[in-house]
Amino acid sequence: MMRQFELVELVKSYDANADEGALNRAYVYSMKAHGAQVRASGDPYFSHPVEVAGILAQMKLDAASIVTGLLHDTVEDTVATLDDIDRVFGPEITRLVDGVTKLSRIELQSDQTKQAENFRKLVLAMSEDIRVLLVKLADRLHNMQTLHFIKSDEKRRRIARETMDIYAPLAERLGMQRMKDQLEDLAFAELHPDARASILARRDFLRDKGAGIVPRILAELHRKLEEGGVANAVVSGREKSAYSIWRKMQRKNVTFEQLADLMAFRVMVDDVGDCYHALGIIHSAYHVVPGRFKDYISTPKPNNYRSLHTGVIGPEQQRIEVQIRTREMHDVAELGVAAHWTYKHGAPTTEGPQYRWLRELLDILDHAAGPEEFLEHTKLEMFQDQVFAFTPKGDLIALPRGATAVDFAYAVHSEIGDTCVGAKINSRLVPLRTQLQNGDQVEIVTSKAQTPSPTWERFVVTGKARARIRRFIRTQQRTQYLDLGRAIVQKAFRQEGQEFSERPLEAVLKTFNCSTVEDLYAAVGQGLATGRAVVNAAFPQQHEPKAKVVSLDRARRRAKRNDIAVPIRGLIPGMALHFAGCCHPLPGDRIVGIVTTGKGVTIHTIDCETLESFADTPERWLDVAWSNEDDAVHVGRLNVTIANEPGNLGSLTTVIGKQGGNISNLKITNRSSDFFEIMIDIEVGDVKHLTTIIAALRANPVINSVERARG
């Protein structure tokens, strides 16, 4: 285990300004906090955070990252709290430790590998500071290095699988090739020990067989470059990892026999000009293997990897692969994001225009307000328009940003979406329209009696939810129009003194462009044809004189003639039926329906002032009646005047609340120095409920006047 002064000296070796005091405090703090805890290896637990800090120091990260490495398990595994950390180490370290702790908790939530991709995105989305991820990766690397101490086969395999599926790709995304290779190789050893052993044996055999070739190639390449005028070129050979060979064999169904299969040669030079110069020398000295040349300098990979790749038939007549890069490109390729701290701490080599991207990235890291901004600027933006939430079982659901509880319900299962009545987010009951945040745990409450509501369509954002809701509304709407239309036609028959029968209707289908009687009902329900027009067509000889302009009173009386009213039971508001926004009819009110072309029926109270404009079209009036089984919530609207004095508005809302009325909207429509006129929408059961509220308001001295809105 690395000792305290060794760790401090290592950090000081690359960062002379590092906060020595904080490093020392963290070392001692972690040692005390973990106390007598022991790892599976039998080592004191404290050795783990120290090793993690050591890995971070080898990556030359800043002191804050090293301190976080030392403290990363204290909040999760000891009695230490974030407040304690804050007192001793300040807000920056607290934020970093909190981030690592949160990531560890997510890790415990779900172990389904099929969700690996989502999980990886979640990890990215939830990392406020890229250093959180770096500490987490170092933590994982040390856990993988000590994996063999864990006794349970299943646990070892799960951790290895997770490393392969999540952490290695994450390291790659951050451009950390070395970290990725190490994680993959350790996971590979656990998951496929036999395959790895045979690949390594084969590699050793080929290496021994070609003994002497590699040094000759290195010397030859170096000589050619020097003759060509590239100064300071360093040529090296690197064995490919067992896992990368294995991957290639999986992909291409090949065995490996050639040098190019197990070695890659690398040329490191001073600057970008030298890179292309070296490429020219190699291409003119050797035959080029077609299709192997790639210029990642002019077009870097999304993770900022930059190099020239080429393949040639090299010295010794062997096919070889060569990577050409500057030293800075090399560090970035090996360390990825982690390399940026190295350059931040004073190396003057990042000045040229070719390092603009690096400076920009550092700038973003310094100034990014949050994960969204960072992700957006570093090409990881593919995740920032998404939000990730958990089911109660810990399954991860990925949704577009802005998604609501209803979207979540539909994403889990169409049935759950269709029947959802409520949602609990992080155990708190919330409205279905609530937008989800990253990491929310969502529990959907369902009821067999529930059906999709047309109002949901206004706030859902996923295609699946919208399609299901629309389809339901379409089928439902047709049924509703059909029922309503049948009732209207039956009523029209009665008014004409005709016995109702569908036969005369079949004869006039063509007149109304319908192919079935049901189509005709639906058309009438939708207001595309009137009941009277249908009856007149069916019985032309008894044609009554055309409806003429009548007085409003007469229209009202006619509508409420002793015909049997059309019951609005079972009609869903928002489909074939609409409640007028002018008078807000409530169960118990005397009501009348106005047929609106293409929309169905709008319900008004019989005394609504708006009805005046329909006085000259009596054929659109429809007698309707409330059904008894109505237990829906209705909205009543009041106009209230109160004196402009402190506390009066409070008294007003208190009275309404005490009477069980829920205020859904409140608007000041007029204000003078003495009075406020206020419009209030209240959710009530029926007109009696609203009348009770009105009476209670009138009984209160601070309220000047209360009236129901009349259109």
CB of 188 to Mn ion, least distance (A): 22
Which range of residues in 135-143, 361-369, 616-624, 665-673 is near Mn ion by CB under 5 A?
135-143
Q: Does residue 267 contact residue 324 with C-beta atoms inside 8 Å?
A: yes
Question: Which residue's CB atom is positioned nearest to Mn ion?
Answer: 139
List the structure tokens of 427.
């155990």
The verdict on 162 binding Mn ion (CB under 5 A) reads no
Choose between 140 and 325: whose C-beta lies nearer to Mn ion.
140
Q: How far is the CB of 355 from Mn ion (least distance, A)?
A: 34
Residue 174, phi then psi, degrees to nearest 5: -85, 5
Q: Report d(CA 478, CA 522) in Å as an integer.
A: 6
Element spanning 260, H or E: helix 259-262
- Active-site residue among 19, 43, 76, 185? 76
Closest CA to 438 of 138, 77, 103: 103
Strand partners, 678: 640, 668
- 622 SS3 class: strand
Measure the CA–CA gap between 157 and 161, rounded to whole angstroms: 6
Comparing CA positions, the residue from 667, 646, 649 lying closest to residue 657 is: 649
Nearer to Mn ion, 100 or 235 (CB): 100
Which of 245/338 has CB closer to Mn ion? Answer: 338
Please say which residue, 139 or 331, places its beta carbon nearer to Mn ion: 139
Write out the DSSP string of 60-109: T--HHHHHHHHHTTHHHHSS--HHHHHHHH-HHHHHHHHHHHHHHHHHHH
Q: Which is nearer to Mn ion, 81 or 501 (by Cβ)?
A: 81
Sheet strands side by side (includes 662-671): 662-671, 675-684, 634-643, 703-708
Tokens 């080599």, residue?
349
Residues ≥6 apart with Cβ < 8 Å to 91:
none
334 in active site: no
Q: How far is CA 391 from the centre of its chain?
A: 14
Contact between residue 709 and residue 584 where contact means Cβ atoms under 8 Å apart? yes
Give whichever of 47 and 477 is closer to Mn ion, judged by the CB atom. Answer: 47
Q: Kindly state the smallest distance separating residue 163's Cβ from Mn ion, in Å.
A: 14
442-446 and 566-567 strand pairing: unpaired
C-beta of 73 vs 261, nearer to Mn ion? 73
Running DSSP on this structure, what letter comes out for residue 398? E
Nearest to 533 by CA among 496, 576, 569, 577: 496
DSSP 256-313: --SHHHHEEEEEEESSHHHHHHHHHHHHHHSEEPTT--EETTTS--TT----EEEEEE
Binding residues for Mn ion, total number by CB under 5 A: 2
> What is the smallest separation between the CB atom of 48 and Mn ion, expressed in angstroms?
6
Strands 420-425 and 442-446: antiparallel
Nearest residue (CB) to Mn ion, 106 versus 666: 106
| Shortest CB 125 distance to Mn ion, Å | 21
Q: What is the Cα–Cα distance from 412 to 444, expressed in whole angstroms?
A: 10
Q: At what angle do helices 130-145 and 47-58 cross, to 10 degrees?
A: 120
Q: Is 77 a catalytic residue?
A: yes
Rounded to a whole number of angstroms, the minimum distance from the CB of residue 155 to Mn ion is 15
Task: Considering only residues 63 through 122, tell me which ones interact with Mn ion, judged by CB under 5 A.
Answer: 73
Q: Provide, rounded to whole angstroms, the least separation between the CB of residue 120 and Mn ion.
A: 19
- Closest separation in Å from C-beta 136 to Mn ion: 9
Q: Which stretch binds Mn ion (CB under 5 A): 132-140, 168-176, 441-449, 700-708?
A: 132-140
- Out of 139, 162, 172, 589, name the contact with Mn ion by CB under 5 A: 139
Exactly one of 19, 43, 77, 334 is catalytic; which is it?
77
Is the distance from CB of 146 to CB of 39 less than 8 angstroms? Answer: yes
Site string for Mn ion, 18-57 (x = CB under 5 A): ----------------------------------------
The residue among 103 and 622 lying less far from Mn ion, judged by its C-beta, is 103
Nearest to 198 by CA among 253, 262, 247, 246: 246
Q: How far is the CB of 72 from Mn ion (least distance, A)?
A: 6
Q: How far is the CB of 73 from Mn ion (least distance, A)?
A: 4
| Contact (CB, 8 A) for 314 and 221 | yes
Nearer to Mn ion, 73 or 328 (CB): 73
Query: For Mn ion, which is the closer residue by CB, 52 or 233?
Result: 52
Q: What is d(CA 341, CA 577) in angstroms, rounded to the nearest whole number?
A: 65
| Smallest distance from Mn ion to CB 46, Å | 11
Of 397, 375, 389, 395, nearest to 438 (Cα)? Answer: 389
CA distances (Å), 107 to each of 152, 187, 472, in order?
A: 18, 17, 39
Q: How far, in Å, are 118, 120, 343 from residue 436 at the CA level?
A: 16, 19, 39
Going by C-alpha positions, the residue among 492, 504, 499 that lies closest to residue 544 is: 492
Active site residues: 76-77
Q: Footprint of Mn ion on this chain (CB under 5 A)?
A: 73, 139
